Amino acid sequence: MSRATGGKRRKKPATPSARSGLGVGLIGFGYMGRTHLAAYRAAATAGYPNRIVALCDRDFERFQGRAAFQAGNMEKKGPFLDVQGLRTSSEPDELLSDPEVELVSICTPTDTHVALACRALAAGKHVLLEKPVALTARAVEKVAAAARKAGRVCMPAMCMRFWPGWSWLREAVAAREYGRVRSAVFRRLGSPPAWSQAFYSDVEKSGGALFDLHVHDADFVRFCFGAPASVVSTGTSDHVTTLYRYPGGPEHVVAEGGWNHAPGFPFFMGFTVVFERATADYALGRTPLLTLASDGKSREIVLPAGTGYDGEVRHVLAVLAGREKARATIGEAAELVAMLAAEKKSLATGRPVKL
């Protein structure tokens, strides 16, 4: 089933090479799909050539004008996005058969990711795949194998690697300008998702907050410090705290993630990282967002505008244009999911689990 919004369906333009910019298709047009669309359009304005070609969602009402999307623990509404003239469909294979679509953003529930990504790759498309890629490393490796076979890029959408403030932290850790890290504590907390409740409340499908929310900080820990030797977790799949053990340091790396707070609790994410000669502190909702304490003073770190969604979209476009090397790979996603599985095991046993 397909429609062209705003009137009769238009004829397809000739070929991707006949138009400027990479052709993009989006599968899943809920809150995250709309976020991706806004990021692609902003990227085009900022000098990352791309053009939205087609949209796919099983619910056609999502394509009709100003739709409000309950974003649950994010407490936001979906942006107003004009989709007039774009090709829309409810069948992914129709989008995937479109010769103008060269890159596909997959923004659907986790339990659909692997099948859709493999179909997109087999159709010759590059893929930006929302987190978590899957709930098992074996499933992620299936996507990695499909990407290798197709000779296409499949990038996991790990937005915190590109989030202003967090990207600053990654650079500060790597540069050691303030000395080595002694302690790093990450927190990501909210109320239960108020949308798609049947999906998110089914831990077998969503993985709970462990896989869907805490995944961001688990990935960022690996991004900054590499794979830990072991993990020890406490709590539940909906509110977990994990200690990551690094024999060579840092001595104290902790991430807390949970979505079991009462409705109305504002979403929070932040970090406190203690270097040898400074302490960096980020807190969502505070002004300034990021401060650095050193030499007896605290100062603001001025951050660029935008979000990690903008960053990840611009990055995948730059990778496909040959301008940048991928900073997030599907192989890393498999390793991340294996670590989350170790955290899940530690939750069940109450014991440390080696990686």
Domain ranges of the chain: 2-157, 161-305+328-354
Residue spans of beta strands (DSSP E) within 246-289: 252-258, 268-275, 279-283
State yes or no: pLDDT of 80 exceeds 80: no
Q: What are phi and psi of 36, to 5 degrees?
A: -65, -45
Q: Do domains 2-157 and 161-305+328-354 have the same CATH topology?
A: no
pLDDT, residue 199, reads: 81
Helices assigned H by DSSP within the chain:
31-45, 92-96, 113-122, 137-150, 166-175, 197-200, 203-206, 208-212, 215-225, 308-320, 330-349
**Of the candidate ranges 29-38, 46-55, 250-259, the one whose mean pLDDT is the lowest:** 29-38
State yes or no: pLDDT of 164 exceeds 60: yes
Token readout for 280 is: 């960096």
Q: Which of 219, 157, 209, 159 is nearest to 186 (CA)?
A: 219
Task: Please compute, for residue 307, the number of CA atoms within 13 A of its CA located in the half-sphere on the CB side.
Answer: 11
Only one residue has tokens 């991928």, namely: 326
Percentage with pLDDT > 90 across the chain: 83
pLDDT-based confidence at 36, cuts 50/70/90?
very high
Q: Which of 248, 244, 238, 251 is nearest to 222 (CA)?
A: 244
pLDDT, residue 75, reads: 41
Q: Which residues contact 300 (CB under 8 A, 6 or more apart)?
A: 288, 290, 291
pLDDT-based confidence at 81, cuts 50/70/90?
low
pLDDT, residue 84, reads: 76
Average pLDDT along the chain:
91
State yes or no: pLDDT of 19 exceeds 60: no
More confident site: 71 or 151:
151
State yes or no: pLDDT of 177 exceeds 90: yes
Q: Which residues contact 332 (CB under 8 A, 6 or more apart)?
A: 156, 219, 222
pLDDT, residue 231, reads: 98
- Domain 161-305+328-354 belongs in CATH node 3.40.50.300: no
Could you tell me the pTM of the whole model? 0.90
pLDDT, residue 228, reads: 98
pLDDT, residue 278, reads: 98
State yes or no: pLDDT of 299 exceeds 50: yes
Are 220 and 162 in contact by the 8 Å Cβ rule? The answer is no
Task: Summarize the confidence of residues 130-150 as an average pLDDT.
Answer: 98
pLDDT, residue 73, reads: 45
**Of the candidate ranges 59-63, 142-146, 165-169, 244-248, the one whose mean pLDDT is the lowest:** 59-63
CATH number (3.40.50.150, 2.40.440.10, 3.30.460.10, 3.40.50.720) of 2-157 reads 3.40.50.720
Only one residue has tokens 């989350």, namely: 340
pLDDT, residue 59, reads: 80
pLDDT-based confidence at 1, cuts 50/70/90?
low
pLDDT, residue 26, reads: 98
pLDDT-based confidence at 82, cuts 50/70/90?
confident
Termini Cα distance of the chain: 46
